[in-house]
Amino acid sequence: MSPNNSNQSALPKYRTIIIAVALIVGIPLGIQACNQASTRDEGRRVIQIRQPSENISGQEVAVLTQAPNVPPPITRNHPTRVIVNLDVVEKTVRLADSVEYAAWTFGGSVPGNFIRVREGDLVELHMKNEASSTMPHNIDLHGVTGPGGGAKISLTLPGHESVFTFSAMNPGLFVYHCAMSPVPMHIANGMYGMILVEPKEGLPKVDKEFYVMQSEFYTKGKYGAHGLQTLDMDKGVDERPTYVVFNGGVGAVTGDGALKAKVGDRIRMFVGNAGPNLTSSFHVIGQIFENVYGEGGSTNAEHNVQTTLIPSGGSAVVEFGATVPGDFILVDHAIFRAFNKGTLGILTVTGPENKKIIESIQSGVAAPPAK
């Protein structure tokens, strides 16, 4: 112990020298290392102070669609002034069989109309609040840079209209929603939708695009209780949804509403989550996502993903190829929600079987215990 002790007492001096040498030699090396790292790591980029496009030319009226439809891809190669007419409509919507909800909507449906513009476009948004509405409303688009995402300048009384412009500077898939007080009630009542800002270079061509948005409803009645339902505050505060659904209602993406594709189709889904509370574990049973643009971003994709998280107020773009026919079930893989609260949808793929991909050898044949 004693020789060690004497060594230790001498160590601090050596340490100082070693550290000093390391600093002198290491600083230039370190800088070099950092430079190399920054060029290698494509995911990291310098924060940009974005500027609006200066050469906006022409004008067009945006084609808006109701879920599960998506407006056609943008073929323009320049930014333009895009007029978006988004009406606020308070109306009763179907939440499940024999269950209705006194909803507040963008465009008359839950979820609200899908808006598609191009990076750099100047969007002129006209928001008319129908005269029959009971509340003032506004809009916060997550694709807008500015206070409240536009909410502040879009406050609109029933029977009135607001118009404002914004520059769609960041590409991506963005949620929009009403942000009028009390905000949770406006979102819980159905006031949300999505806006896609296509990157300048466009998106790779696919065969089918779909719009799917998850959301919760908190109703006074239990799941399935018939009649007109309205918001149950306590359930909302406690985050105990009565319904968790795709595209505004139980079964909205089944039957006639099922998504349809053919074997060989390349499929892109624009998936949003309006919340107001839950995070979605989005999964398509029997498919693997080839590409997932997480958080609705436009550049970095994850590949070969089974289930992707979509936060409340967030989105993801998922892409995959249809390889074999059948029904592929969209679920929130927080699975009680799917089977007891409504997050079930169907993608029906038709076309030729491919037994090299999946084939039944024997199915459920009795297997007696070995003797």
Partner 1 sequence: MNVAGTALSLGALSVLLAGMVHVPAGDYLPIRGMGGQRMHVAAFEMDAHAVTRGDYLAFVKTHAEWQRGKVDPKHADATYLAEWRGALEPGDAMDLRHPVTSVSWFAASAYCEAQGKRLPTTDEWEYVAAASDVSRDASQDQLFQSRLLGMYASRSTSAIAPIGRGFRNVYGIEGLHGSTWEWTRDFKPAEMTNCAGAAMGASDATNYPALLREAFRSALTERSTARMLGFRCAANAPA
362: left (phi over 0), alpha (psi -120 to 50) or beta: beta
Asked whether position 189 contacts partner 1 by CB under 8 A, the answer is: yes
Cα end-to-end distance, the chain, whole Å: 69
Among 71, 73, 108, 148, binds partner 1 (CB under 8 A): 148
Asked whether position 181 contacts partner 1 by CB under 8 A, the answer is: yes
Among 71, 108, 136, 321, binds partner 1 (CB under 8 A): 136
Applying the rule CB under 8 A, the residues between 204 and 223 that interact with partner 1 are 220
Cα(178)–Cα(186) distance, integer angstroms? 6
- Secondary structure of residue 178 in the 3-state scheme: coil
Asked whether position 152 contacts partner 1 by CB under 8 A, the answer is: yes
Give yes or no for a contact between 171 and 121, defined as CB atoms under 8 angstroms apart. no
DSSP codes of every residue in 1-20? -HHHHHHHHHHHHHHHHHHH
**Bridge partner residues of 96 (DSSP):** 99
Among 32, 92, 300, 350, binds partner 1 (CB under 8 A): 92
Q: How far is the CB of 271 from partner 1 (least distance, A)?
A: 25
Asked whether position 135 contacts partner 1 by CB under 8 A, the answer is: yes
C-beta of 51 vs 134, nearer to partner 1: 134
Asked whether position 156 contacts partner 1 by CB under 8 A, the answer is: yes
Asked whether position 108 contacts partner 1 by CB under 8 A, the answer is: no
Q: How far is the CB of 273 from partner 1 (least distance, A)?
A: 18
C-beta of 59 vs 132, nearer to partner 1: 132
Among 23, 228, 288, 358, binds partner 1 (CB under 8 A): 228
Among 52, 69, 71, 91, binds partner 1 (CB under 8 A): 91
Length of the chain: 371
Helix, strand, coil share (%) of the chain residues, nearest 5? 20, 35, 45
Asked whether position 325 contacts partner 1 by CB under 8 A, the answer is: no
Element spanning 36, H or E: helix 2-40
Q: How far is the CB of 26 from partner 1 (least distance, A)?
A: 47
Question: Which part of the chain contacts partner 1 (CB under 8 A), choosing from 57-65, 132-140, 288-296, 361-369?
Answer: 132-140
Tokens of 88: 């606020």
Q: How far is the CB of 189 from partner 1 (least distance, A)?
A: 7
What residue has token string 């179907």?
94
Among 56, 83, 102, 285, binds partner 1 (CB under 8 A): 102
Burial status of residue 24 (CB atoms within 10 A of its CB: 0-12, 13-18, 19 or more): exposed
Residue closest to 305 by CA, chosen among 327, 279, 333? 333
Applying the rule CB under 8 A, the residues between 158 and 177 that interact with partner 1 are 158-160
Binding mask 231-270 for partner 1 (x = CB under 8 A): xxxx--x---------------------------------
Q: How far is the CB of 178 from partner 1 (least distance, A)?
A: 10
Asked whether position 133 contacts partner 1 by CB under 8 A, the answer is: yes
Asked whether position 157 contacts partner 1 by CB under 8 A, the answer is: yes
Cα(119)–Cα(76) distance, integer angstroms? 11
Where does 97-226 show beta strands of DSSP type E?
99-106, 115-118, 122-129, 140-141, 160-167, 172-177, 192-198, 208-217
Cα(253)–Cα(343) distance, integer angstroms? 9
What residue has token string 């800002």?
197
Give yes or no for a contact between 333 and 302, defined as CB atoms under 8 angstroms apart. no
C-beta of 91 vs 200, nearer to partner 1: 91
- What is the binding site for partner 1 (CB under 8 A)? 90-92, 102, 104, 131-136, 138, 140, 148, 151-152, 155-160, 179-183, 185, 189, 220, 228, 230-234, 237
